[in-house]
Amino acid sequence: MSGIEPIEFRPSPAPTLGVEWELALVDRESRDLVNAAAPLFDLIAARGIERADRIHKELLRNTVELVTGICTTTAEAMDDLGRTLEQVRTLTDELGIDLYGAGTHPFAEWSAQQLTEGHRYAELIERTQWWGRQMLIWGVHVHVGIDDRDKVLPIIDALLHYYPHLLALSASSPMWAGQETGYVSNRAMMFQQLPTAGLPFQFRTWPEFESFVHDQKTTGIIDHLNEIRWDIRPSPHLGTIEVRVCDGVSNRRELAALVALTHCLVVDLSRRMDAGERLPQMAPWLVQENKWRAARYGLDAIIIQNSACEERLVSDDLADLLVRLAPVAEDLGCTDELASVGEIVRRGASYQRQRAVYAVSGDQRDVVASVVAELD
């Protein structure tokens, strides 16, 4: 279509991995959030630490994000994050603060949180106002390299079948502003309130996606492509699909399980396309319902499996999915990590562990302490 700017997708020759892990900063005494990112980054700059490029600022000063380089396996990504985490913890120990890995904080007040300096963040809050200020949320983003632009949109559509699996496993945000919300992932419900966030639209062709982006820019909804904050989105400049479904995660073992599952799902779908298969799609209204069910019920969600509206308990479907993906995991060198997905189901997801702590003590500060204690 005339006047529409092409969006170049830079293919990745191999299904590489990149992981972004958001962590909150909490006070060791009160267990409340603390706006300590500025002094933390001052220390990072003053010490000239070698992995400074792996440590990023985020929207609020109560957050730090650890990112990997380009990795080939889940184990490599976890090692990368582990080395960065070790350096960051040395500095947070010095500042008397802890790192906290969950989708929300149980009792923090949004009005006490400070915005990170930067025109991009100020513009976001100016536009989104109350909902933008409510974004006391943390998540995990996984990039997987794609070798062909024309695979990107079909794979994203097919990945939506597995949205509830990823969210149920990672759900870690059952409490908000001192209240038990009744949801296991309040983060998923909160984040979709932003105007460009939530579930991705489904497009048949790359030019349709380009036309959509053109409309978004023409009407001033976005200035840059990365302002489309979908739960699963293309990252054309990196040559990846970015899966942003998961809540914040408290430890590297569970993070490895989620990364491995994501890696295997994307590679499996890519291979099926290579074999000539037309990947299945699900109607947007069914995808939306599955997201809600996973955010509400977690591993107890009964999910819609296909366009025929067949339903199944998500944990039962996960068990079969792990068996089906086992050969892919072997090829990708993540057999152990994929198998550990089952441990989350058996041990209980983060939301279940948080609720168990609160049921015993009745003190949400103990919930924060339990999440902090899991970090490794």
Query: Could you report the per-residue pLDDT of 282-294, keeping only the tens digit for each?
Result: 999 999 999 999 9
125 or 295, higher pLDDT:
295
- Assign 349 a pLDDT band (cuts: 50, 70, 90): very high
Instruction: Determine which helix (DSSP H) or strand (DSSP E) holds 287, and give its type and residue range.
Output: helix 284-297
User: Domains in the chain: how many in total?
Assistant: 1
Q: What is the pLDDT of residue 183?
A: 98
- Assign 190 a pLDDT band (cuts: 50, 70, 90): very high
The reply to whether 72 falls in a domain is: yes
Average pLDDT score, the chain: 96
Q: What is the pLDDT of residue 2?
A: 58
Do 73 and 142 contact (CB within 8 A), yes or no? no
Q: What is the pLDDT of residue 126?
A: 86
Residue bearing tokens 């009407």: 219
The reply to whether 274 falls in a domain is: yes
The reply to whether 1 falls in a domain is: no
Q: Say how far apart CA 249 and CA 350 lie, in whole Å.
A: 8
- Assign 123 a pLDDT band (cuts: 50, 70, 90): confident
175 phi/psi in degrees, rounded to 5: -120, 150
Examine the pLDDT at 1 and tell me if it is beyond 70.
Answer: no
pTM over 0.95: yes
Question: 3-class DSSP state for residue 240?
Answer: strand
Q: Say how far apart CA 236 and CA 7 lie, in whole Å.
A: 7
Q: What is the pLDDT of residue 134?
A: 84
The reply to whether 374 falls in a domain is: no
- At 196-213, the pLDDT tens digits run 999 999 999 999 999 999
**What mean pLDDT do residues 4-8 have?**
95
Q: What is the pLDDT of residue 274?
A: 98
- Determine the straight-line distance between the first and last CA of the chain, rounded to whole angstroms: 51
Q: What is the pLDDT of residue 119?
A: 64
Alpha-carbon distance values, 364 to 121, 178, 354, 356 (Å):
30, 8, 9, 11
Stated length of the chain: 376
Q: Say how far apart CA 128 and CA 16 lie, in whole Å.
A: 34
The reply to whether 35 falls in a domain is: yes
**Closest residue by Cα to residue 235 from 16, 4, 1, 5:** 16
- At 305-330, the pLDDT tens digits run 999 999 999 999 999 999 999 999 99
- Domain boundaries, position 137: 17-368
Q: Which of 75-84, 125-134, 254-263, 341-350 has the lowest mean pLDDT?
A: 125-134
The reply to whether 34 falls in a domain is: yes
Q: Say how far apart CA 343 and CA 187 lie, in whole Å.
A: 23
Q: What is the pLDDT of residue 124?
A: 80
The reply to whether 176 falls in a domain is: yes
Q: Say how far apart CA 333 and CA 260 lie, in whole Å.
A: 9
100 phi/psi in degrees, rounded to 5: -130, 125
The domain that contains 228 carries what CATH number? 3.30.590.20
CA 103, 105, 110, 114 dihedral sign is negative
The encoded tokens of residue 159 equal 């990945």
**Cβ neighbours around 196 below 10 Å, total:** 14
- Assign 79 a pLDDT band (cuts: 50, 70, 90): very high
The reply to whether 214 falls in a domain is: yes
Q: Say how far apart CA 213 and CA 5 lie, in whole Å.
A: 9
Q: How are the residues of the chain apportioned to helix, strand and coil, as percentages rounded to the nearest 5?
A: 50, 15, 35
Q: Say how far apart CA 361 and CA 256 lie, in whole Å.
A: 30
Beta-carbon contacts of 238 under 8 Å, excluding residues fewer than 6 positions away, are 10, 12, 18, 143, 145
**Cβ neighbours around 24 below 10 Å, total:** 28
**What mean pLDDT do residues 125-152 have?**
92
Strand partners for 241: 144, 234
118 or 84, higher pLDDT:
84
